[in-house]
Structure 1
Amino acid sequence: MAQVSLAPSGRPAWMRLIPAVFVLLWSTGFIGAKFGLPYAEPLTFLLIRLSLVAAVLAAVALVTRAPWPRRWSDALHIVVAGLLVHGVYLGGVFTGIANGLPAGVAALIVGLQPLLTAAASGRMLGETVSARQWLGLALGLCGVLLVVWENLSLQAGYLSGVALCVAALVGISVGTLYQKRFCGGMDLRSGTALQYAATSAVLLVLAMRFETMEVRWTGEFLFALAWLGLVLSVGAVFLLYILIRRGAAAQVASLFYLVPPATAVIAYLMFDERLGMPALAGMAVAVGGVALVNRRR
């Protein structure tokens, strides 16, 4: 029988591919949102996506006899992390793009997660932030301001889209730290199913209150729904949780600085979204800032 080659750490060599695969899959989430949003309102789209995935994962958890949280406190921690990572983050991104914010700009704003994570990790995980890292935080902020300024519009939709993506940034950053601290022993099958079910319940209330919940079941919408549901909500999220479990929060968060460039390339190829020189310079500054924050001493 052929043996699987091992990395120096003793782990299978294919484990090294997980970060790259995660970045590629996560980048397509912004594209999938723009691809499917013309056919359904954002909260309704998310409600259908997450409720279907919750049902599938719950069935998988039952068939495979996955362990469920034994204590209410454990279940509560899982739900809180899920509402932040899936509800606040996805809700902010989807509604922001639905309001007209370019997918590349949305990806860049939430791509500042490593910076915000570094700033918050001291309080939540006991990590310290050095002067070099604070310099990186400032550079990242300047980079985002350059990108947003070039595309700045005084229209309410654009400004609200920026605000919604900032809220998404806070949600994914705090949610990642919360997941790392309180949900380390969560079973991916049952725990993620619980997170999606809880988020779907909140989305149902919000969609009934603020949207018409009308859907046009076109081929494009079904493709976007299948891709975002199976590839993103299962594949990419499972990879994220594996990375969170195996690595430090700052190391995991540093992967997100690769998402905006990848999203910008895909958005250019599929939607002809173009970024001018100021925006490209801002993206480079933001990437440099995040690299500075996460550079090993």
Structure 2
Amino acid sequence: MTSSRTNGTVATGPVATLALAAMPAVFVLLWSTGFIGAKLGLPYAEPITFLIIRFASVTVLLALFAALTRAPWPKSWAEAGHIALAGLLLQAVYLGGVFASIYHGVPAGISALIVGIQPLLVAAAAGPFLGEQVTARQWAGLVLGLGGVVLVVWTKLDLGAGSALGYGLSVLGLLGITLGTLYQKRFCPRLDLRSGNAIQYAVTTLALAPFALAFETRQVIWSGEFLFALGWLCIVLSLGAISLLFVLIRRGAAAQVSSLFFLVPPCTAVVAYFLFGETLSLLALFGMGVTMLGVALVNLKR
């Protein structure tokens, strides 16, 4: 006997079990390509302009899908406000920081590595915010992971790759996804992926518009590469990977879900090597290994 619920809370049977088991690996693969999509499309549009086009497109698609499937909408303004704030953190702050960082010359693999420290921060904040215990081993991993990130970023700055502003924007993105993950886990446990995501993308589009008007020319070169990057980020990332992230957050503890992010930097680095020729020095590779070890200490079981 099999059963399923479109809201993602109940699923049994061999097919559903296999799908649930594959979710983490699929999420890591899809999430890694987001940095590549940004790198591919940013030569043809400024970062905030690019994101506004992407989010506006996804908002329309999700609103239509929610209407056709009669998705439930928030029952109160307070619930809608929590969903909107989580979306601003996960979309505007996180993606805005990452896109602007790559636009200012930070390699996609390094931006992924900086944001990949997110599991460490989530584990550190999970105690006071979600009531999850943080052990001495996890604190050791936190220090080790931060040291690895500093080592990688330092070697890249020494080689002239990126700028202090670019790396600062990646750190801003890191804070956005960390706070967004914690906030969504605590305040949006019943978020419907259709209507909830539509609200988040709509609010994010409106929030980013003033920045594009104030700081960018808003010019777009509608090349084939840009259209491919835009389509990939809209369909695969904004509809696919983000939905998987929300399902995983709903089903597991914040620290457990965040542990997946330490697999993103090496996956992104491999793809960036083949597509863009981005390389890492031996010292930077060592720093990446230290970071991954630190995240493992925080998130993996004994």
Normalising by the residue count of structure 1, what TM-score does the alignment of the two structures yield? 0.96
Q: Map of 1:86-125 to 2, 5 A cutoff?
A: 86-125=91-130
Question: 2:300 maps to which residue?
Answer: 295
What is the rounded CA distance, in whole Å, between the counterparts of 1:64 and 1:95 in structure 2?
Answer: 35
Deviations 1:160-207 (A, max 9, x none): 111001010010011001001011101100000000000000111110
2:54 counterpart residue number: 49
Is this contact kept in 1: 2:105–2:161, CA < 8 A? no
Contact 2:2–2:12 under 8 Å retained in 1 = no
Give the C-alpha shift of residue 154 in structure 1.
9.0
What value does the CA root-mean-square deviation take over the aligned residues? 1.9
Relative distance call for 1:130 and 1:35 in structure 2 (3 A) is same
User: Following superposition of structure 1 onto structure 2, how do residues 6-85 of structure 1 map, counting pairs within 5 Å?
Assistant: 6=13, 12-85=17-90
1:86-144 CA-to-partner distances (Å, cap 9, x unmatched) read: 01000000000000000010000000000000111112101121110000001101110
Q: Does residue 166 in structure 1 map to residue 171 in structure 2?
A: yes
Aligned-partner Cα distance in 2 for 1:216–1:231: 22
1:284 equivalenced with 2:295 (yes/no):
no
C-alpha change, 1:83 and 1:5, in structure 2 (3 Å) is: closer
Matched, 1:194 2:199: yes
Conserved 8 A contact 1:153-1:159:
no
CA distance in 2, matches of 1:77, 1:153: 41
CA distance in 1, matches of 2:160, 2:272: 22
Gap regions ≥5 residues in structure 1: none
User: What does the per-residue CA deviation read over 1:35-77, in whole Å, with 9 as the maximum and x for residues that have no partner?
Assistant: 0000000000000000100110001001111000010000000
Residue equivalent to 2:135 = 130
Deviations along 1:264-285, one digit per CA (max 9) or x if unpaired, are 0000000000001011101110
Partners in 2 of 1:158 and 1:249 — Cα distance? Answer: 32
Alpha-carbon contact 1:110-1:169 (below 8 Å) kept: yes
Instruction: Measure how far apart 1:295 and its partner are.
Output: 2.1
Residue identity opposite 1:152 in structure 2: L
The ranges of structure 1 where at least 4 consecutive aligned residues each deviate by more than 6 angstroms after the TM superposition are 1-5
Distance in 1 of aligned mates of 2:114 and 2:200? 24
8 Å contact from structure 1 (residues 121, 128) kept in 2: yes
Q: How many Å apart are 1:296 and its aligned residue? A: 1.6
- Percent of residue pairs bearing the same amino acid type: 61
Distance 1:202 1:155, change over 3 A: farther
Unaligned ranges ≥5, structure 2: 4-10
Q: Secondary structure at the match of 2:132?
A: coil
What is the TM-score of this pair, normalised by structure 2? 0.94
**CA offset at residue 145 of structure 1?**
1.1
Measured after TM superposition, the shift of residue 6 of structure 1 is 4.6
Aligned partners of 2:162, 2:272: CA distance in 1, in Å?
A: 20
Distance 1:97 1:2 in 2: 45
Letter in 1 for 2:128: R
Aligned to 1:83, the other structure's residue is in SS state helix
Q: Say whether residues 1:272 and 2:277 are aligned partners.
A: yes
Mark the CA change 1:6 to 1:284 in structure 2 (over 3 Å): closer, same or farther: farther
Check the 8 A contact 2:259/2:300 in 1, yes or no. Answer: no
